[in-house]
Structure formats: C-alpha cells, structure tokens
Amino acid sequence: MAGLDWTYGVSTLRQWESADYEPSLPVSEKSNPLTRDIDRASAYSIVKMLQVCDSQMFQKEAGTIYQRLLSDQVVKTLMEVAKRVEVIIKDPQESCVVMSGCGTSGRLAFLISSGFNKALSQLNQSEVYSYIIAGGDRALLSSQEAPEDDPRLGVLNLKKVCEGKKRVLFIGISCGLSAPFVAGQLDFCLQHPEVYTPVLVGFNPAHQARDEPIQDCTFTFHSVVQRMQELAKSQKAFLINPAVGPEAISGSSRMKGGSATKILLEAAFSAAHAATSSNTPITHNGVLQHMMAYERTLAVTYSQTDGITTLVEAAGQSLQCSRHVYYLGWGSLALLGLIDASECSPTFGADYEDVRGFIRGGYRELNNNDGPLTSLGPKFSIAHEDFLHLILPCLTDKDTVLLIYTHSDDATEVGNMARRVREKTPNLHAVYHQADGDTAASLQQDDIKKLCLSTLKITWPQEALVSGTLQHMRELSTKLVLNAVSTGAHVLKGKIYQNHMIDLQVTNTKLYRRATRLLQLSACPEEKCEEALLKAIYRVDMLTLEMTSSDITTHTCFARNSTKVVPLALVILLTGWSLVEAESHLKQQPIVREAVAQWMW
C-alpha cells in the first residue's frame, strides 16, 4: 500500500455517488471504492482506510441526489422527532418511545434506550424508552439472523411492549431499509395511527428500500416506505434516511450504519432531554451542533492512528494463530465491547470464542429486559468474574486482552484486573478515556499503564463535560476503535476478499441474496451461482427436487448448521470440483482470501 494517498481526491471519495457505480445495489450494499485493496493492506493502512470511510458520514450534500447526515431536511426531521419525545417525557404515564431493529440495529436500540433511561432516572423522571431486538435478548450477545425475516414476530413484540399505552413513538431501525421484522412493525403502526407515530431510520434513499415480496404479506419494505413518505408530508410519520456511503466491508452495516444510528437518535433524544430538564428550546442549531460534536469525535479518535494500529496488529496476530481477543470493559463502554464481539460471528463467520466481551457487574450492569441469560450457554457468561474463572486460567501470551475504561471508573479495580491478566500474559492493552486536565486520575493511571504493552489514551476537552455530550462521544469513539480492531484483525487473518466478506453466514434472505451476488465474482451466471450455493448449503453434489423447490427460508434455516458455505460454493464454481474435493482444498487453504485468489487468477 506504499504511496496510498490518504487525502484521496474528491472523485474517489464520491465515486460511489455516481449513477453508474454499481447501479443495481442500494448504497448500504455497494462496495466502497476506498477499500478495494483492504485485504492486502497493512494494519496501519487498514486503520487509515476506516478513517476515510467513516469521514464519509459527514460529507456535505452538495450536488448529489443523496441526503446526508447533516442535511437540512435530516436536522429538521430530528427536531420534529425530538419534540414528540419531549411531549412523551412530560407525560410518561400512557406513552413511550420504542426503538426496534435486527442485529446491530437492535443492539443499538438497547444501548441508546439504556443510556437515556438512566439519564431520566438520575433526574427522578420516569423512564420512557424501550427496545426490541429481533430474536429477543439473546440476540444482544449472539447472532440471531433468522427472526429478521419475520414481520409477524415484529408485530407481536411491538404489541407486547406497548400494552396499555395510548401514545407510542415507534422508531424502526433498518440500515438497509430491508428487514421484514421492522417493515411489519411499521405497517402495524400505519394501521393504528391513533396510537402509533412511526419513524424509520436507515441509510438508503427511499426508492432503494427493498422491494422483495415478504412471505404471506401484502406489503414490501418499499411499499411501507412509500406510505410513510405520504404521511411524512403531514408529519404523521418520519423518515430519517441520509446516505453515509458504502461500508468499508461491503454490507457491514454494523460499522457506519451503527454509528450513524447512534448519532441521529442521540442528537434527537439529547435535544428532547435538554428541553424538558433545562428548558433549552429544540433548535436547528442545537441539533446540528450536537451532531457536529460527533464529527469531532472521529477526529479525536483517529488522531490516535498509531495506537489503534498497535491494537489491530495485536488482535490480528492472536486470530492468525487461532488464539483469542478479549475486551474487558467498565460501564457503557463495556457494552460496546459486548456488541462488537457478538458481531464477529455473523460478520466474519468467527467462533464465539475468537473475540469476546466482558462487562463489570455482568447482567446487573447490562440491565436487559430478560435479566441474566447465563443459562443459555457459555457464550452468555459476560461478567468479569466469568472471565477470571473461565478464561484467565488458560490465557496465554498469544491472546490479546484489552481493558476499556474511563477516568471515572474505579482505577483500583482496573489495576487489580490488569495485575491478574499480567500474571498470565504481557499482551495486555488499554483503551482509556480521560478528561482534559484530569491530573488526579492520571497518577493511578500511570500504574496501570506500566502493566500494559500499549495504552490508547483518548483525551476529551472539558467542553464535552460541560455540554453533557461526553458519554456519547466516548461511546462512539470506543465503537470506532473496537470496530477497527475486530474488522482489522479479521482482514489480517485473511477473511476478506477485496472488500467483500466471503465467509458470511447465509441465515436470512438479505444474506442469501448477498451471498448469491458475491458468487458472481466468479463471472458465472446467477442461476449457476445459486445452484452452487445450494450445493454448499445442503452439502450435496446433486440437488434434489425438494431442495431446489424449497423457499429461501428453508435454505437459510438449513444453512444455520453449515459452515464455509460461500467459500465452498465459490471453489465449486471456479474449479468445477465435487463438493468433497472442494472441501478438502479449502481445508488445506483456510485463508479465504488466498483460497479465492488462487483460483480466480
């Protein structure tokens, strides 16, 4: 990557906006021209690419068809949403704000609702925020992709949360404007306007919403969006759908999609909270300023490129030798560790043990709807104590451990944990957030620093403390760092081809379609690609009539128990080998990037 120009020309930065750039794909599924060579980049170059990709979130609207994060219309809609939230906070008895989504979108719904409910409790006000995640609370910590396809389940979940409520602001989040689970909920809201005001958050223009039929439904996501657009004219529904540019890893909406969800909703809710608690009016400038603080967050975070690179390298080395990465976090930053770790399975086909998160206080701190989930299996053990009992005894210097904390966390406790880990491995690192001029904390911090191989110290200006945005900034910053660590580490492990994740799980319709599209990298026609995909899913050389005539839901259910589905299908397509031959070759060359490159050229 020597000579790569980090200041990229405007034409490269905005190439994806051109009408003839991957025209059949919505923005959220396009591949980003900036990261086409990410699979062959060094850790440093990976971090730089992620920085430029993230900065696309804040690009200006000028001269394109796309609305952007800071566009006037987006800010105006956020103000209107904030006003509805303000009314609900002032009259919480029979009203509530419900956020709902699948995968990362549901996890962010949880994170944001927890944070703002806490803020209300601290002011002795009633909590008004609820979250719904497709697949229930277990999906907060593990991959549950199938419920995303179920609109009826979405409605059932929504009805349950809203029982007895007379006024509901429903916020459906689907980065790709695609999840049937959310479409079902929005449709239900549209049918019951006396109670529900629907808001849709996503990152494609309305005309790119998914128009694929949904089983047993008369609507598609696209038709729901059209009905909402009509109602939006009279402010009976709201659409917040700026484009943030294609993801660094194609379709990986956990990255910019997740970050932008957090930015938009926090900007709206913060404005509503300020209006109720300190009588600060909800203004265009206020909302805009809040969003721009996130732009500065990107700058503050990525000013630490070297520190982030060190973490990516360490994590990459651990994964390359089949060892593990552990995030040990405190407070809400730990939640971002849990979320990032949980996304590695669906995104990179990783084992749950590859990257794991732990939170101080376990489920007590998590405070999720269903309480402790430990009985569901080992991947649901999330407390620091669990780490000490289950992981520490087998920890080696090939594992990477990351402490994630702030100056307001108990430094003695962090120090004790650091010492325990240090007895087993020197491969200990810290991500530490401090406020500018906080000298008292830095004395204890010095002791912890000595125990760590590297410390990524992120210093926030005092003004962030005063404006009350500090928590949101630290969270976004931690999200960016951890997304870089887990994405970068998997890239270095060879899981990515160009900027495509080949070894994705094919566990819902969206992912099935994405997989079929990826297979066309082989230059084979679509039907052949789908045939190879089915052979890899069902692990047969000859497909039966029953297999070919089943619907996508049946395929994706079956695919839940199959591994390496897409790489296998790709090898079959490129070589014409039998399934057994392809499987044995993939075993010899498990690095997907190398395996694919070997047969492509």
| Residue among 253, 400, 487, 509 that touches ligand F1P (CB under 6 A) | 253
Helices (H), 343-438: 344-348, 362-366, 384-386, 411-422
* Footprint on residues 127-156 left by ligand F1P (CB under 6 A): 145, 148
- Closest approach, Cβ 519 to ligand F1P, in A, equals 17
Pick the binder of ligand F1P from 103, 184, 205, 329 (CB under 6 A): 103
Query: In the bound complex, which residue of the shown chain has the CB atom lying closest to ligand F1P?
Result: 103
The one segment of 7-15, 97-105, 116-124, 396-404 that binds ligand F1P by CB under 6 A: 97-105
Question: What string of H, E and C letters represents the secondary structure of 88-148?
Answer: HHHCCCCEEEEEEECCHHHHHHHHHHHHHHHHHHHCCCCCCEEEEECCCCHHHHCCCCHHH
Among 178, 185, 241, 368, binds ligand F1P (CB under 6 A): 178
- The residue within the footprint of ligand F1P, chosen from 25, 47, 48, 101 (CB under 6 A), is 101
CA-nearest of 185, 169, 101, 180 to 135 is: 101
Instruction: Give the span between the Cα atoms of 203 and 255, in whole angstroms.
Output: 12
- Provide the 10 A C-beta neighbour count for residue 550: 15
Residue 571 contacts ligand F1P per CB under 6 A: no
**Residue selected from 115, 337, 346, 494 as contacting ligand F1P according to rule CB under 6 A:** 346
Scanning 102-110, 157-165, 358-366, 566-574 for contacts with ligand F1P by CB under 6 A, the matching segment is: 102-110
Question: Pairing state of beta strands 400-406 and 325-329?
Answer: parallel
| 309 touches ligand F1P by CB under 6 A | no
Q: Counting contacts by CB under 6 A, is residue 175 touching ligand F1P?
A: yes
Min CB(95)–ligand F1P separation in Å? 26
In the complex, least distance from residue 276 CB atom to ligand F1P, rounded to whole angstroms: 29
Which region, judged by CB under 6 A, interacts with ligand F1P, from 10-18, 103-111, 288-296, 406-414? 103-111
DSSP code, position 374 = G
Least separation in angstroms between residue 347's CB and ligand F1P is 6
Shortest distance in whole angstroms from residue 108 CB to ligand F1P = 9
Token pair belonging to 212 = 């694929």
Q: Residue 49 interacts with ligand F1P (CB under 6 A)?
A: no
Residue 389 CA from chain centroid, whole number: 29
- CB 328 → ligand F1P: shortest distance, Å? 24
Q: Residue 368: name the closest of 136, 147, 100 by CA.
A: 136
Q: What is the DSSP string of 26-42?
A: -GGGSPPGGGTTGGG--
- Please state, in angstroms and rounded to a whole number, the distance separating the CA atoms of residues 186 and 152: 11
Of 100-108, 210-218, 468-476, 519-527, which part binds ligand F1P (CB under 6 A)? 100-108
Residue 254 within binding range of ligand F1P, rule CB under 6 A: yes
Residue 112 near ligand F1P by CB under 6 A: no
104 touching ligand F1P, by CB under 6 A: yes
Task: Give CA angle at 35 (31, 39), nearest 5°.
Answer: 105
Task: Work out how close the CB of 185 gets to ligand F1P at its nearest, in angstroms, rounded to a whole number.
Answer: 12
- Distance, in Å, from the CA atom of 542 to the CA atom of 241, rounded to the nearest integer, reads 44
The size of the interface with ligand F1P (CB under 6 A), counted in residues, is 16
> Between residues 176 and 331, which has the closer beta carbon with respect to ligand F1P?
176
Question: In this structure, what token pair is assigned to residue 422?
Answer: 């240090």
3-state DSSP assignment of residue 212: coil
Q: For residue 440, give the amino acid letter.
A: A
Q: Which of 525, 512, 550, 487 is nearest to 35 (CA)?
A: 487
**Distance (Å, whole) CA 6 – CA 378:** 42
- Window contacting ligand F1P (CB under 6 A); options: 99-107, 557-565, 577-585, 593-601: 99-107
Compare residues 185 and 309 and give the one whose CB is closer to ligand F1P.
185
Taking the complex as a whole, how short is the minimal distance between the CB of residue 555 and ligand F1P, in angstroms?
16
Rounded CA-CA distance 293/295 in Å is 5
Helix (H) or strand (E) holding 199: strand 196-201
Look up residue 438 and give its two tokens. Answer: 């906080």
Chain residues in the site for ligand F1P (CB under 6 A): 101-105, 145, 148, 174-176, 178-179, 253-254, 346, 510
